[in-house]
Structure 1
Amino acid sequence: MNYKNPYRKSAIALAVSSATMMSAGMSNVAFAQDAETATALEEVIVTGSRIRRPDLASVTPVSVVSGEEFKISGNLNVEQKLAELPQTLPSFGPSSNNPGDGTARVDLRGLGTARTLVLVNGRRYIPATQTGVVDLNSIPGSLIKQVDVTTGGASAVYGSDALAGVVNFQLIDDFEGVEISGLYDVASEGDAEKVNIDLTMGGNFDDGRGNATVYTSFSKREAVYQGERDFSQFALTENSDNTALVPGGSSGIPGTRVFGGPTLPNGQTLGRFNTDGSGAPYTSSDAFNYAPDNFLQLPQERYLISAMAHYDLTESARLYSELAFSRNQVDSELAPTPWFTTLPVNPDSPFFAPDVQSALNGIRSDTNGDGVINGNDNATLSYIGRRMVEVGSRQSLDTRDGNRILVGLSGEINDVWSYDGYYSRSVLDRIQVQNGNISRSRSLQAALVTDDGLACQDPSNGCVPLNIFGEGNISAAAADFIRIGAINVTSITQEVWQGSVSGLVGSLPTTDQQIGVVAGLEYRKDFSRFQPDTALSSGDVAGFNAGNPTVGGFDVTELFTEIRVPLTDQVEAWGAYRYADYSNIGGVSSYATALSFAPTDKMRFRAGFQSAVRAPNVAELFSGGGNGFPGATDPCSADGFDPASTDAALCAATGVAASQVGVFSQANTQIQGLFGGNTNLSEEESDTFTLGAVFQPTENLDITVDYFDIQIENAISILGGSVNNVLDICYNQVKDINSAFCQAVTRRADGQVGIVNVLNENISSLETSGVDLNIGWTKDLDFGLGGEGSTLEINSKATYLLDFDVTPVAELAGTNECAGSFGNTCGSPLNELIVNTRVTWNTGPWGFTGLIRYLSAVDDDTIATQDANRADILVDKLDAEIYLDLAATYAFSDDFSVNFGVNNILDTEPTQIGDQQEQGNTFPSTYDLLGPRVFLSANFRFR
C-alpha cells in the first residue's frame, strides 16, 4: 500500500519550516502526494530565514544559482562558478599557488572567507582549516540542487561567521535510479586537463516510507606552470625609470647575491659570483626569474562519497541521516629555495677565485678568539642570497581527509507545530608534505670549509662541503646533505547539537495570514591542533614559512528565535534574535529585523537591518605564529621614499644609513612578516542595512534591485591591516619610533627590512556598500528547431560597488578607499561594476546557452590610498574585461544527454602588471590566464 505522507499540505508547510528546513528530512517530498503540494514546497525553499517563503518574497536579498548552471558551464570546481557571481570576490581556487593552501573558498562582498558561512542543507559542514572555512572541494557538485547566496549579516539566523552572508548548498536527497555522469575539460593549447566521473544511486524502500541516496565521485586536474604561458613566463617588474615592464625576479640568485660586499681588486663591489668563483657586481638583470616553476593551475585528485537517507518511523516522526567523506589532494610548487643569511666563510677556500680571496682577506675578523686577525680566521659576508636550484623546486603536497556524520529526527507535533533535532560530527585531517627545503644549520656548517675545500671545518653529521659560490657548483652529495623535508599535521573536530520547534500562533485582526515562529537551542564545540614538523617550527628550514604549533578550541551555547508577522495582507514584519555564550569571549547577541510592503501582486518593497557578531576562530586566537612574504614597499627605499611625507630621520634611527635613505634599492618586492594569534581578541560586530524592491510587471519578467550597506567594527586582522600598511603608518603617518607600528619593524645590518611583526588584532573598521540588480525574463516562442516551439530565457545579475573602505587604525584619520582598486594595500581587484548575463534558448532536445561576464576597470590602489599621481604609475589601471562562454546541450532521451561548450571563447587576457600583482603578473583568481577551454560532458540515467 501507499504510505501516508506525514508532510501533507498544510498552512505550516507553506509558511513555516523547522529549524533545519533544508535538511534531508524536510527539503523535498518523496512520497505519495499531489503535484500541487510538491510544487509549493519546492518553490519556497530558500536561504536567509528559517521561515519558508518564495525567493522573490524574501525579506533579505537572496541570489539563487541552480544546479543546472553548474552542469551547462562545465565547472568541475564549484568555487569557480560562485566566483563569477557579482556578490563574491574570487578567493582561493585552482590557480592559488602562492598564496594558497590547497583549499577552494567563497568570499562574499570581499569581506573575507572567514566572514562567509558555508552551509550544506542548511547546516554547518566540514571545516577545512583552523579558521573554520569550508573547502568547497568537499561538496559534491553533481548533487547540487541549487545554491542560495544571502548577503549581509545573518548571525541572528545562522550564528557566528555569517557577517558577510551565507552560501547554502541544497543537495538532492531523494534520488531514484542510477545516474552516471562524466566531464572532460581541456585548454585550447592541449593542456590543463580536467576529468570528472560521478555515480549516483538511490531509491525508495518499505512502500515509500524511506529513501536512500549514495553518491561517489572522482576528479583529476592536471598542472600547468607559469612558464607554459607567454603572459606569465617572466616575473615582471617596473624598470628603473618606470617606463616599461621588464623581467624581474628575486635577488636570491643561483650565483649567490652578496649585499654590501667587499671591494674587489678591480675596484668593483662584490655583488655576485661567476661559475669559476670570481667576483662581479650585481645588476638588476641578474635577478632570478622564479615564475616558470610556479603553478598556474594546481594539480588535484579528489574522491568524494556521500550518503543520505530518511525513514518515516511514524506519521509524525522522520529519522534522517547524512554521511560524507572527501579526500582532496592539491599540490603547489615554488621555485627552488632562496636562502638569505649572514654567512661565515674561509677566504682561503678554493671555492673562491684569487680576486675574491683578496677581497675577503680584507674583512677577516678574530673568529677564533686568539686576539690576532690572521690567516687562521674566517671572514663574514654580512648578507647573501643564494637560490638553491641544485636542490630542486619546493613542493607542498596537501592531503585533506574529511568526514561527517549527521543523524536527526523531525516531524509534526500537531497541525501547526513541528520539531527538528540533529547531531553532527565533522573531522578533518590534513597532512602536508614539504619537499625541496634546505636545513639552515647544515647549510651554514657545510659552507664553512677547510683551506683545501675537501672538508667542513665542523665535520660532524657527515658534513659535505657546500660550494654556493657560482651557479651550478653544488655537488649532488652536498645537496643531499642540506636537503630536508617536513611533514605538518592538522586535525580539526566540530560537533553540533541543535533542536528547534516551529509553528503558527494565530493572526492579527488586520489579516488572515498567520504568524510564524521558530525557537531553538544549539550547542557547538570546535577544537583543532596543528603540529608542524620539528625542523620547520624550530626555524631550521629555509624554503617554506616557519610555523609554531596551534592548539585550542572553544564551545558555544546558543538560543535563537525568529518570527514572521503579517501586519496586513500587504505588509509583513520579520525579526530574529540569537544569544550566544562562548567559553572564550562570554555572551554576545545578534538580532535582525525587516519589513516588506506589497502594494500590488506585481510589486514589493523591502527594508532590513541586521546587527551581527563573529567570534574569533581557533587560528585567530591560538595560532603559534609563522612567517609569510607578502608584497610591500619600504618607505625608506628609493621606490618608496616620498620627501613630502616620509620621515628620513626615522629611517636613519631604525637602521638605514643616513646617506642611503631614499637612495638604496629594495632587495625584494616581498617583505617577510611574522603572523600569529592573539588570545585577547574580542568579537567583531557588524551592522547591515538593506533596502530593495521586487517588480514582476508580467508573468515572465521579474526584477529585483537592492541597496546594501555593511559596516564591521573591531574587525580582526593583522596589525595595521597588512605589512605594507605597518611600514606606511610608521614612516609616513605616526612617525614615532616608540609606536607599536615602528616597534614592529626590524631591519638588517644593511638597512633592508628584515621582518615586520604583525600579530592579530581587533583593528578598526571595514565598510562596503553598493547596489545589486537581478533581472529574469522568459519568453515562449512560436518557432524552433524541427518545427517545434522554443523558450528564450535571459538572466542577468549585476553589482555596482559604491564603497569599500578599510580603516586599519582607529586613532589615525587614514582610510583606504578601495572600491575600484587593486594592489598591495587593497588586495584583489574590487571592480566597481560586475555584470553576469546568461542567455538560454531551449528548443526540442536542444539547449543553447551563452554567458557574458563583464568586469569593470580597476586602478592601482596607490592612487586612492596614497594620492599617487596617475601619470607616475606605469600600469595605473587594469582594463575592463569581457568573458564569453558558450555551450550546447542535446538530450537524446529523458535519460541521456550530452553537453559541449567553450569557456572564454574570446581568449580574453588581463592587463599585465608588475610589483602590485598577486602572482602570474596579475590576479589569476580574478582573471583567466589559460585561454579558451573546451569541455564535453555526458549524463546517463537508469531508472
Structure 2
Amino acid sequence: MFKRNARSAAVAALIGTLGATSAFAQEADTQKLERIEITGSRIKKSDATAESPIVTVTAEELRQSGIVTVEQFLNTLPQVTAGLSSQSNNPSSNGRAFIDLRGLGSNRNLVLINGRRAMGSTGGGTVDTNTIPTSLIERVEVITGGAATAYGADAVSGVVNFIMKKNFKGLELDAHHRMTDRSDGKESSASMTLGGTFEGGRGSAVFGASFFKRDSIYKGAREFSAQASTSTTIFPNGSIGVGTNAPSQAAVDGIFGANKCNQNGGAAGFGFNPDGTLFCTGVAGNATREVVNYRGPESHIATRFYPDNFSYNFEPDNALVLPMERWSVYSSMDYEVNKNFRPYASFQFTNYNAQSELAPTPAGGTTGFFVPVTNPFLSAEARTLLAARDNPTATVSFSKRFNALGGRTSYNTHDVGQGIVGASGELLGDWTYDLYASYGRSVQNESQGGNVRLPRVQALINAADGGASLCAGGFNPFGDAPISVECQKYISLEAKNLTTVVQKVIEGTVTGPVVQLPAGSLDAVFGLSYRGLDYDFKPDSGLQPGQVAGFNEQNPVKGELAFKDVFAEAVIPLLRNVPLVKSLSATVGARVSDSKLTGKDSSFKLTMDWAINNTVRVRGGAQSAVRAPNVTELFAPPVNNFPTFTNADPCTNTSSYRTGASAAQVRALCTTQSAVAGAAGYVQPSSQANGITAGNPDLMPEKSKSFTAGLVLQPTRDLSATIDYWSIDLKEKIDAVDAPTIVQRCFNRDGANPNFSPTNEWCQLFSRDPNNGGVIKLVQLSRNQASQKISGIDLGLDYALSLQQLGSLRWNAVATWTEKNKQQTTVLSPVNDFVGSIGSTTGTAIPKWRASLSTTYSWGDLSVQLLNRYIDKMVNAETVTGGSPVTNTGTAATWYHDISARYAITKSITVRAGVSNLADQQPRLYSPNVQANTDPSTFDVLGRRYFVGLNAKF
C-alpha cells in the first residue's frame, strides 16, 4: 500500500491475522546525492532520513485504492483517527473533511501544501482536504511525531504535507467511477493535468483541473440504519404534556380502558393519531403501561421501543451519505532568472457544494409551545381530558414534528482559493533563501430549509379562529391535518448564512552551513513568519435565540488572530565512521510565537539520528508545541446546542442513582428540580439535552510535549522494518465538560455534591423542563481545564520478493498499538484511559490495534493488490466512565478486504478496476453511537463497491 524507495523503512510487524494497528516510517534513498527535504524538518540533507515516524502515500496508490477522495483514504491509515468527514450528516461538517492525527482533534495538526500552510475553512484555520485538488497530488507525507518548531507552534500531533506535481511534462487524463453492489452511492471523477518546461528548462509550469460528483444515500436504504436507536418524544402528529396538572385517572380510564394508561399519558404525554384522536404513549419497562390506541402508520414506529412506549422512527428521513459536486483548478510556475533569483507562483481554487438532510424539524417541549383550551382544533377526547384536571383552564404544553415542511436541509456552497508568490535562490556561499507571501480566502454560503418560526406557530395556536386570519385555512396542529401553502410559508424560514475566512501568510527563511565540524557540516535554517486569520460568520437574522427550531440558533461571530514567529533549526553532526557509529547527528530547533491576544509562547525540538551501520538506525527525540485558542473558542456568543445525553439522567427511575445507596437523596433532589423528574415512573424524555455553548475570551494556549524513540532495520535492499514508540502529553487542554458528567456531578458523581444540594455549582449549570422533567439550558463553556496523555508503538514492514520470470511480490504492513489514551476533563475528574473504546462523538474511536497489510503481485504490465485492514474490538466509552455494558454496547473486531488490479494496455494508457469491502462487511453497530447506529467515519456504511478507472499519459 505505501511505497518505499530503496532506503525506506516501513513499519514493522506482519499483521496477517493478528490485526495490528498503525505504524509507519520512511527513509529516502542513500544512493541519491542531492539534498532532499523530508517533512518534519526544513533543512535539506543528502541522506534525507526521517527522525520521526512518517508515511508517504503516492498518487498511484490513491488511484489503485479505488477511493476518490483523499480524506477517505487517509482515514484508513492507522495513525489517523476518523473524525468529521465529507459524508458526515449529523453531526455535519457541511461537506467539509478534516484530518485528525492520533485522535487529538483536527485543530491540533497542520495541513500543508508543499510545506506551506494551506487555506483553512474554519475559525481555527482547520483545512478542508476537499479543497486540495487530487489530480495534482504527487504524494502525501504524514508525520505524527510533532512538528511545531518546523511549521508552526500548533502542530501538536504532526502535519499532513501534500506535495503537488511540479516538474510534470505532457498531458495526463484520468477518469474514475465507483458504485455499490446495491447500485447506489455512485461516485465519478475526471481530471486533466498539463505541464512542461520552457526557456531550455529554466522554467516549468503545470496546470490541472478536476471534477468529482457523489450521489446521496438515505438511511432507509440500509437495514442497519433504517431504525432509530435513540428515542424522541416529538412526533409528526403532535402530542401534549400535562405535567403535574394531570387529568383524573377516571377520565384517562374512560378513554383508554381501566388502568392501561398513566394520568400523564406516558413518557411522552398523550399522542395524536392522524385523525386527531389520542393514544397513550406508554412507559418504558412497564408492561401495564404500554402504548394504547395508536392508529398511525407503522413506518412512524421506532420498533426498538415499541410497544413499551412510543417513539418516532426518524432515521429513514436522514441522509447516510451526503451528495457532493466539486471542481478544482491548480497551477504553478517557476522560472530561474539566475542562481540568485528564482521566482515562483501558485494558485488553486476549489468550488464544491454538498447537502445534508435531517428528519423534519421537531419543535415544542423545551422550545415552549402551549395550547390554550380554547383552541378550536382540539378534539372532543382532548377536551374531556383537559377538563378533568385540577386546573381545567390551564394551557398545556405541545410538541410536533413538522413533516409537512420536509426535511431539514442544509445546502452549502464552498469557494476556497489561495495564491502564493515568492522567490528562492542562492545567497553568499552555500546559503540559500526562500521568501513567499500567501493570501487565501474561504467563503461558505449555507441555505437552510425546514426551519420553523416558533413565535408564528405559537401565534397560530393561540388564535381564536385557529389562525385563519393569519394564513389561509389556519393551522390545525393535531394529527395529520393538511397545512396550506400559505401557512407553510408563514411558519417556515429559509435561512441563509455566510462564513468568510481570510488567511495571510508572509514567511522567509535562510538556510546554509554554519561551520564545518569533524563529523560534517553543521547546517541551520533561520526564519521569520507572520500569519493573520480573519473570521466572520453572519447568520440569518431569523436564527436568533428563541425565534426558530430546526437547525441550531446562531449569533454572529467575528474575530481576528495574528501571530509573529521567529524560528531556527540546526543539524549538528556529532560522530562519523567510528566503531558502532556510521553517523550520529542531533537536530535542535526553537520557535517563539507572539500573539496579540495571548502573548509570547515558545516551542523546542531535540531529535537524534544514529546510524550504527548500513543495516541499523536509531532515531528519536523530544518536542514541545503550543496551540493558541481559535476565534470561535474565544468569541462565539451563547447559542443553543443539543449534546448527546443517552440513558444519562440520574433521575430516571431505573438508573443506578435512583436505585443505589443514596436513592432517597437523589429522588429528593430530582423533585426539587422538577416534580416530574422526581416522580416514581420518570424516564428521561430525550436522548439529547438542551444545552448552551459559548466562547471564552479568557482562554490561554494549550501546551504539549511529545517524545519518540525508534529503530530502523534494513538488512537487505528488499527488506526494511521499523518500530517507533511515541507519546504526547497535552496539558491545559481547551475542552468543555460533557453533558452527562455535568448533570451526574450534580448528583454526586466523583464526589462533587456529597450533600446533594440544589445550589451546588454543578446543579447551577442546568435546569429542567417543568412539563417533562428533561434537562434544559445546560451550560457548556470551554476552559483550560483538561489534560490528555497518549502513547503507543508504530510498527511496519516492507518486503519485496522476486519470482524471476514470474514477476514479483511485495508486502507492506503498517500498524499501531495504542498503549494509553488517558483523559481528564477537570482536576476534579477521574483519569480515564479510553484505549480500546469508542464514543458517541466523532473522533473517539480508539482501538488498541489498528493495521493494514497490502500484498501486491506484479508481472510485466499487470499489477494486482489485496489490501487487508483491521480495526480492533472496542468497548463503549460510557463503560469506561462507569456506564453499564448492558445498555452501553461496544463493537467487535473488524476486517476489511479490498482487491484491485491495474494493467498498462500501452505505455500511455492504463486501466484499473477493483472491489472495495470484498466481503461486504457491514458496519459495527453500538449504542450510544455517533450516527446511523454506528460511527460512519470509522466503519464502512456503504458495503461492497466496484470501481473502474482509466489513465492516459501523452
Cα distance in 2, alignment partners of residues 667 and 206 from structure 1: 73
Cα distance in 1, alignment partners of residues 792 and 46 from structure 2: 24
What is the match of residue 796 of structure 2? 774
Q: Which of 555, 564, 572 is the matching residue for 2:562? A: 555
1:795 aligns with 2:812: yes
1:857 aligns with 2:869: no
Deviation string, structure 1 residues 493-515 (Cα, Å, up to 9, x no partner): 00000001000122323x2x211
Cα distance in 1, alignment partners of residues 47 and 389 from structure 2: 76
The answer (yes or no) to whether the contact 1:817–1:865 under 8 Å persists in 2 is no
1:666 aligns with 2:680: no
Q: Which of 800, 813, 836 is the matching residue for 1:820? A: 836
Range with bigger deviation, 188-197 or 141-150 = 141-150
Aligned-partner SS, 1:443: helix
1:251 aligns with 2:230: no
What is the match of residue 310 of structure 1? 334
Range with bigger deviation, 766-775 or 467-476 = 467-476
Deviation string, structure 1 residues 150-203 (Cα, Å, up to 9, x no partner): 113321111133111111111111211111111101011000000101011111
| Structure having greater relative contact order (Cα 8 Å, sep ≥ 6) | 2
Aligned-partner SS, 2:516: coil
Cα distance in 2, alignment partners of residues 937 and 493 from structure 1: 37
Aligned-partner SS, 1:877: coil
**CA, structure 1 residues 655+597, in 2 after alignment: closer, same or farther (shift >3 Å)?**
same
**CA, structure 1 residues 387+804, in 2 after alignment: closer, same or farther (shift >3 Å)?**
same
Please tell me the residue identity of whatever aligns with 2:135: S
Aligned-partner SS, 2:863: strand
Post-superposition shift, 1:447?
1.6
The answer (yes or no) to whether the contact 1:86–1:799 under 8 Å persists in 2 is yes
What is the match of residue 726 of structure 1? 742
Deviation string, structure 1 residues 405-438 (Cα, Å, up to 9, x no partner): 1001001114421000000000001111000111
Q: How does 1:418-433 map to 2 (within 5 A)?
A: 418-433=432-447
What is the match of residue 221 of structure 2? 228
**CA, structure 1 residues 716+776, in 2 after alignment: closer, same or farther (shift >3 Å)?**
same
Q: How does 1:167-566 map to 2 (within 5 A)?
A: 167-237=160-230, 249-260=231-242, 262-263=246-247, 265-267=251-253, 268=261, 269=263, 270=265, 271-283=270-282, 284-285=305-306, 286-340=310-364, 341-362=367-388, 379-381=394-396, 383-450=397-464, 453=465, 455=467, 459=469, 462=471, 465-509=474-518, 511=519, 513-566=520-573
Cα distance in 2, alignment partners of residues 168 and 309 from structure 1: 20
Q: How does 1:638-787 map to 2 (within 5 A)?
A: 638=653, 640-642=655-657, 643-644=660-661, 648=666, 651-652=669-670, 655-657=673-675, 660=678, 663-718=681-736, 720=737, 722-731=738-747, 732-733=749-750, 734-735=752-753, 737-750=758-771, 751-784=773-806
Unaligned runs of 5+ in 1: 1-35, 238-248, 366-372, 785-789
Range with bigger deviation, 817-826 or 668-677 = 817-826
What is the match of residue 588 of structure 1? 601
Please tell me the residue identity of whatever aligns with 2:732: N
**CA, structure 1 residues 50+464, in 2 after alignment: closer, same or farther (shift >3 Å)?**
farther
Post-superposition shift, 1:316?
2.3
Aligned-partner SS, 2:490: helix
**CA, structure 1 residues 273+60, in 2 after alignment: closer, same or farther (shift >3 Å)?**
same
1:930 aligns with 2:942: yes
Range with bigger deviation, 590-599 or 897-906 = 590-599
Range with bigger deviation, 486-495 or 60-69 = 60-69
**CA, structure 1 residues 630+220, in 2 after alignment: closer, same or farther (shift >3 Å)?**
same
Please tell me the residue identity of whatever aligns with 1:314: N
**CA, structure 1 residues 598+391, in 2 after alignment: closer, same or farther (shift >3 Å)?**
same
**CA, structure 1 residues 170+316, in 2 after alignment: closer, same or farther (shift >3 Å)?**
same
The answer (yes or no) to whether the contact 2:606–2:622 under 8 Å persists in 1 is yes
The answer (yes or no) to whether the contact 1:216–1:303 under 8 Å persists in 2 is yes
Deviation string, structure 1 residues 381-420 (Cα, Å, up to 9, x no partner): 1x33211111111100111101111001001114421000
Cα distance in 1, alignment partners of residues 693 and 844 from structure 2: 20
Post-superposition shift, 1:911?
2.9
The answer (yes or no) to whether the contact 1:638–1:663 under 8 Å persists in 2 is yes
1:74 aligns with 2:66: yes
**CA, structure 1 residues 813+544, in 2 after alignment: closer, same or farther (shift >3 Å)?**
closer
Cα distance in 1, alignment partners of residues 148 and 357 from structure 2: 38
Aligned-partner SS, 2:762: helix
Cα distance in 2, alignment partners of residues 55 and 294 from structure 1: 53
Please tell me the residue identity of whatever aligns with 2:50: S
**CA, structure 1 residues 713+482, in 2 after alignment: closer, same or farther (shift >3 Å)?**
same
**CA, structure 1 residues 687+419, in 2 after alignment: closer, same or farther (shift >3 Å)?**
same
Deviation string, structure 1 residues 33-75 (Cα, Å, up to 9, x no partner): xxx9995448x34211112348983112212222221010121
**CA, structure 1 residues 656+266, in 2 after alignment: closer, same or farther (shift >3 Å)?**
closer
The answer (yes or no) to whether the contact 1:273–1:469 under 8 Å persists in 2 is yes
Cα distance in 1, alignment partners of residues 131 and 103 from structure 2: 22
Range with bigger deviation, 356-365 or 514-523 = 356-365
> How many correspondences in the alignment?
864
**CA, structure 1 residues 901+140, in 2 after alignment: closer, same or farther (shift >3 Å)?**
same
Cα distance in 2, alignment partners of residues 936 and 355 from structure 1: 62
Post-superposition shift, 1:538?
3.9
Post-superposition shift, 1:275?
2.8
**CA, structure 1 residues 649+768, in 2 after alignment: closer, same or farther (shift >3 Å)?**
same
Post-superposition shift, 1:132?
1.3
1:600 aligns with 2:607: no
Say what the alpha-carbon RMSD is for the aligned residues. Answer: 2.2
Cα distance in 2, alignment partners of residues 521 and 75 from structure 1: 39
**CA, structure 1 residues 163+531, in 2 after alignment: closer, same or farther (shift >3 Å)?**
same
Post-superposition shift, 1:94?
3.7
Q: Which of 778, 792, 806 is the matching residue for 2:823? A: 806
Aligned-partner SS, 1:681: coil
Aligned-partner SS, 1:444: helix
**CA, structure 1 residues 198+662, in 2 after alignment: closer, same or farther (shift >3 Å)?**
farther
The answer (yes or no) to whether the contact 2:791–2:820 under 8 Å persists in 1 is yes
Q: Which of 36, 47, 50 is the matching residue for 2:42? A: 50
Post-superposition shift, 1:576?
0.9
Cα distance in 1, alignment partners of residues 822 and 874 from structure 2: 15
Aligned-partner SS, 2:200: coil
Cα distance in 1, alignment partners of residues 593 and 686 from structure 2: 46
Please tell me the residue identity of whatever aligns with 2:775: V
State the identity %. 33
What is the match of residue 20 of structure 1? none
Please tell me the residue identity of whatever aligns with 1:222: D
Cα distance in 1, alignment partners of residues 635 and 435 from structure 2: 32
Post-superposition shift, 1:255?
2.1
Please tell me the residue identity of whatever aligns with 1:635: P
What is the match of residue 637 of structure 1? 652
The answer (yes or no) to whether the contact 1:300–1:328 under 8 Å persists in 2 is yes
The answer (yes or no) to whether the contact 1:210–1:309 under 8 Å persists in 2 is yes
Aligned-partner SS, 2:385: helix
Post-superposition shift, 1:93?
1.7
Post-superposition shift, 1:364?
9.4
